[in-house]
């Protein structure tokens, strides 16, 4: 008999009714010639006479039952279902077609859903995002793993109890880059995944073991989203960070008081930044009053480096001039209207950058009215970069997005950290984009080197740019960005489900 393409694994435990429900739902969507089967391991018999359903009675823990199911599986790929999960009509047909078209795929995952108000129970997922997986285990269900790879990675282990699937997914993705998102709802759960103290800690342990295996020294805590992980990488040698701040000496009313923005930014560094290895590279534009530099010097003292720039204002030229004068191993692009919230924001960003696969780190920026300004840059359907979730109340989230670390194709240059060496390697900001999209172009050049762009919302700052301001974007700016980067926009992990092309 020909081996099935996919074997679905169900560790039912004592939930026999849930197992029967899953089998009945599978029967309804399975065509006669479908190439998949189902292995159920339960504490007691589950009556079933279907030839493609294989039931084993073996009381035990969930990891033990999943391990038994995996040992009995014959499919090239395997995927876990929970008792009570119901496969969506057409989902496995779509999975099978995609695997047939891309037989080298090692991991294929779908979207999923469960009962919830509005869209709160419809988990539409991004394309592969390593940092998001480490933070939330978002691969979830339905997630088909190449069986031989899962076995080689250790399968379902006893120490994974409470986070068996997250642990297995991490073990597998450590060994492959052949990871595909299929933008269909693969199954419906009976209810949202349960997060309690036991399962949360089990997930954190799975993440800790993952980083042990990949050789990164980390501390893992609970994240801001239920069930998530906040990873703090060790920073053994605290590098000097050159904070590059272009300014024209602007003033603005902030929280009811008119302030000199550059001075406010400088005080933020001195008074609200725990990371103490920094210098401030102030880049005054032509015409900036002399007292602006002196006001900043009065705040930061001998940490100040002044790199004036001539000519009409060009943000890219200003930043490039500042980086050229910088002495730090790391450079932080920071707008003069950005103000730190918590003291550990820069520690957080430097920590994320310790991963050698990460080239750029961005932060969460919040308007004065506590609405989100930035948690990552994505592409819209009309090919314009925009700030995902912008305008929503701070703390708003879509399954952790905006609260946990995640990968993006770009982040805003209002608060952007990278190495000075990499900045120079990719050519810095493009001076033919003086106002808009220069940060997007910079991030795209970093992605082209094979490094990732990560936004860490745990680094939270205020951006006193008006929350009601409408950005003025010129057609020539869009055309300039689109020319070299259209191919990358179509690979945006958060906008990968479009069908308009």
Span 231-252, average pLDDT: 96
| Mean pLDDT value across the chain | 94
Strand intervals (E) in 178-222: 179-188, 218-222
Q: What pLDDT, on a 0 to 100 scale, did the predictor assign at position 473?
A: 80
Nearest to 207 by CA among 184, 186, 231, 237: 231
**Structural domains of the chain ordered from first start:** 6-232 (3.90.550.10), 241-495 (3.90.550.60)
Give 208-218 pLDDT, tens digit per residue.
999 999 999 99
Span 325-342, average pLDDT: 96
The alpha carbon torsion through 68, 72, 73, 79 (nearest 10 deg) reads -20
- The tokens of 239 are what? 């590098």
Cβ neighbours, 10 Å, residue 113: 18
Span 300-315, average pLDDT: 95
φ, ψ dihedrals at 292, nearest 5°: -65, -50
- Of 53-57, 58-62, 82-86, 379-383, the one with minimum mean pLDDT is 379-383
Give 87-103 pLDDT, tens digit per residue.
999 999 999 999 999 99
| Rounded distance between C-alpha atoms, residue 490 and residue 479, angstroms | 15
Q: Are 36 and 7 in contact (CB under 8 A)?
A: yes
Q: What pLDDT, on a 0 to 100 scale, did the predictor assign at position 475?
A: 86
- The tokens of 70 are what? 């995996």
**What confidence tier does 308 reach under pLDDT thresholds 50, 70, 90?**
very high
CA-CA-CA-CA torsion sign (172, 173, 177, 180): positive
**What confidence tier does 468 reach under pLDDT thresholds 50, 70, 90?**
very low
**What confidence tier does 472 reach under pLDDT thresholds 50, 70, 90?**
confident
SS3 3: coil
Nearest to 387 by CA among 318, 458, 437: 437
| Rounded distance between C-alpha atoms, residue 88 and residue 119, angstroms | 17
Burial annotation 243-258 (CB, 10 A radius, 16+ → b, else e): bbbbbbbeebeeeeee
Q: Model-level pTM?
A: 0.95
Q: What pLDDT, on a 0 to 100 scale, did the predictor assign at position 466?
A: 61
Give 30-80 pLDDT, tens digit per residue.
987 789 999 999 999 999 999 999 999 999 999 999 999 999 999 999 999
Give 134-165 pLDDT, tens digit per residue.
999 999 999 999 999 999 999 999 999 999 99
| Rounded distance between C-alpha atoms, residue 490 and residue 498, angstroms | 9
CB neighbour list of residue 277: distance below 8 Å, 6 or more residues apart: 238, 239, 240, 241
Nearest to 350 by CA among 325, 373, 331, 376: 331
């Amino acid at each position: 008999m020909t081996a099935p393409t996919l074997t679905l694994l169900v560790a039912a435990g004592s939930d026999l009714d849930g197992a029967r429900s899953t089998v009945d739902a599978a029967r309804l969507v399975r065509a006669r010639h479908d190439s998949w089967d189902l292995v159920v391991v339960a504490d007691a018999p589950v009556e079933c006479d279907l030839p493609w359903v294989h039931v084993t009675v073996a009381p035990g823990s969930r990891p033990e039952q999943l391990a038994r199911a995996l040992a009995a599986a014959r499919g090239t790929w395997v995927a876990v279902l929970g008792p009570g999960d119901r496969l969506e009509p057409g989902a496995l047909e779509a999975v099978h077609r995609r695997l047939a078209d891309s037989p080298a795929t090692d991991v294929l995952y779908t979207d999923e859903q469960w009962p919830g108000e509005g869209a709160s129970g419809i988990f539409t997922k991004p394309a592969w995002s390593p940092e998001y997986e480490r933070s939330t285990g978002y691969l979830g269900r339905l997630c088909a793993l190449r069986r031989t790879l899962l076995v080689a990675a250790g399968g379902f282990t006893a120490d994974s109890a409470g986070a068996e699937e997250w642990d297995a997914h991490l073990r597998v993705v450590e060994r492959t880059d052949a990871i595909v998102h299929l933008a269909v709802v693969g199954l419906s759960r009976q209810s949202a995944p349960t997060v309690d103290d036991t399962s949360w800690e089990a997930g954190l342990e799975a993440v800790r073991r993952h980083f042990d295996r990949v050789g990164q020294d980390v501390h893992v805590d609970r994240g801001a989203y239920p069930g998530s992980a906040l990873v703090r990488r060790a920073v053994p040698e605290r590098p000097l960070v050159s904070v590059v701040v272009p300014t024209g000496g602007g003033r603005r009313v902030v929280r009811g008081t008119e302030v000199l923005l550059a001075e406010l930014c400088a005080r933020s560094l001195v008074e609200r930044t725990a990371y103490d290895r920094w210098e401030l590279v102030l880049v005054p534009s032509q015409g900036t009053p002399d007292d602006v530099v002196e006001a900043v010097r009065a705040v930061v003292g001998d940490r100040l480096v002044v790199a004036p720039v001539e000519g009409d204002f060009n943000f890219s030229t200003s930043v490039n001039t500042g980086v050229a004068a910088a002495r730090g191993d790391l450079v932080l692009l920071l707008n003069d209207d950005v103000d730190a919230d918590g003291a550990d924001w820069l520690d957080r960003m430097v920590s994320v950058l310790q991963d050698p696969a990460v080239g750029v780190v961005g932060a969460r920026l919040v308007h004065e009215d506590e609405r989100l300004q930035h948690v990552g840059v994505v592409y819209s359907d009309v090919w314009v970069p925009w700030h995902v979730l912008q305008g929503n109340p701070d703390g708003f989230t879509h399954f952790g997005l905006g609260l946990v670390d995640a990968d993006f194709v770009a982040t805003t240059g209002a608060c952007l950290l990278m190495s000075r060496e990499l900045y120079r390697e990719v050519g810095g900001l493009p001076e033919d984009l003086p106002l808009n999209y220069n940060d997007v172009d910079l991030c795209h050049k970093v992605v082209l080197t094979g490094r990732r762009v990560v936004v860490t919302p745990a680094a939270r700052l205020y951006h006193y740019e008006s929350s009601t301001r409408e950005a003025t974007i010129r057609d020539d700016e869009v055309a300039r960005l689109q020319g070299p980067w259209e191919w990358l926009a179509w690979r945006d992990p958060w906008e990968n489900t479009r069908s308009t092309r």
